[in-house]
Amino acid sequence: MKTFLKISLFTISILVLLFVLFLAFFTITDYKPDATFDMHNTDHSDTLNTGDTLNTITWNIGYAGLGNKMDFFYDGGKQVRTTNENTQKNLAEISNFLSNTCKPDFMLLQEVDKKAKRTYFIDETKHLAGLFKEFFMFFAPNYKVRLVPLPATSPMGFVHSGLLSLSGPNPSKSVRLDLPGEYSWPMKIFMLDRCILLNRYPLNNGKEFVLLNIHNSAFDDGSLKKQEMDFIRDIVIGEYEKGNFIVAGGDWNQNPPGLTDNKFNKPDGYENFLLTGIDVNFLPEQWQWCFDNEVPTNRSLRTAFNKKTSGTTILDFFLLSPNLEILSVKTYDLAFQNSDHNPVIIKFVIKNI
């Protein structure tokens, strides 16, 4: 009996030690980005003009792994990743849409994998850069983890993913801004490090056009989103007070102010995701929240997509400063064929003021 107890205690001690070493290793090697990281500075930028009409698209491409046949374990589903064949098919069809359906001046993409087990280590940033050689490309990591250990039976593994901004004009500066807030330890070492990808473009009136690629927190109790949104508000208000012109677009992981609740199957399928809305008084009323109220941009991943029963809502949209004139906003209803998000495009004018 004593021998059995000794063996049991020794085994438990070894397991505890291994677990401690596991957490220590991933804590030490955890990705810790600088609060501000300049990725691009040039004296040879392209100058935009007041009066210009510009098009910008935002699309969370779901790393080309969340097509309409997928569910996902974080959302209450069972699957971790789709097949290699489906991943390549989704990426090809996403690329085809961006190449042929719309001709934007700027593309704000989220959940683009640079290297990840979940996408069979396909470099999606390299693929898109090769496809859009006439665009300038900027990539800001927001998910850089050596091992996502969940689910335990089939871990998601290595992930290097982030925000990708493709720009026709050459910006004077591109910077990664770390968003405030984080999960408690040890969860934080396996979670995303949220950020903003911000590009600056000189204008012929001496001011700047400032473009923000946004992807806010998803699975939190609302406290992280609040810190992130306060940070974003400080940025856009500060830029506007300087006389600059601002567009912020992306996956906000919350509803825009003024969304009509009864448009979609919103209540069903979002049990693991706290679905909240941005307060209508978050910014002065002259600021413009731009979204297409007729088409959902996101669907629940609790099950494969079913148009009649799947939960859907609007999480992807734009924020424009008062000195820009919005001409149109459209969500393309792609029936979530290749991503759990639909793309949204806006057309706007830089006012001559």
Residue 231's pLDDT is 98
Joined together, the tokens standing for residue 40 give 């691009």
Q: Are residues 7 and 73 in the same domain?
A: no
Q: In whole angstroms, what is the distance from residue 164 CA to residue 167 CA?
A: 10
Same structural domain, 25 and 42 = no
**What is the C-alpha to C-alpha distance for residues 64 and 47, in angstroms, rounded to an integer?**
34
What is the DSSP code string of 83-129?
Answer: -HHHHHHHHHHHHHHHHHT---SEEEEEEEEEEEGGGTT--HHHHHH
Q: In this structure, are 10 and 53 located in the same domain?
A: no
Burial of 79 (0-12, 13-18, 19+ CB in 10 A): middle
Note whether 10 and 136 are same-domain residues: no
Q: In this predicted structure, what is the pLDDT of residue 47?
A: 98
Q: Are residues 88 and 74 in the same domain?
A: yes
Phi then psi dihedrals of residue 162, to 5 deg: 180, -160
Amino acid letter, residue 238? G
Residues 4 and 99 in one domain: no
Q: Are residues 94 and 234 in the same domain?
A: yes
Model's pTM, two decimal places? 0.93
Give me the CATH number covering residue 53: 3.60.10.10
User: How many other C-beta atoms can be found within 10 angstroms of the C-beta atom of residue 219?
Assistant: 14
**Claim to verify: residue 1 and residue 46 sit in the same structural domain:** no
160 and 16 in one domain? Answer: no
The answer on 127 and 8 residing in a single domain is no
3-state DSSP call for residue 302? coil
Show the domain range for 1: 1-30
Ordered mean pLDDT values, 10 residues apiece, the chain (353 residues): 67 66 63 85 96 98 98 92 98 96 92 98 97 96 93 93 98 98 74 94 98 94 93 98 98 92 65 85 97 95 92 96 98 98 98 87
Could you tell me if 173 and 123 lie in one domain? yes
Question: Where do we find the tokens 């090697």?
Answer: 29
Same domain, 17 and 145: no
Number of separate domains in the chain = 2
Q: What is the pLDDT of residue 2?
A: 67
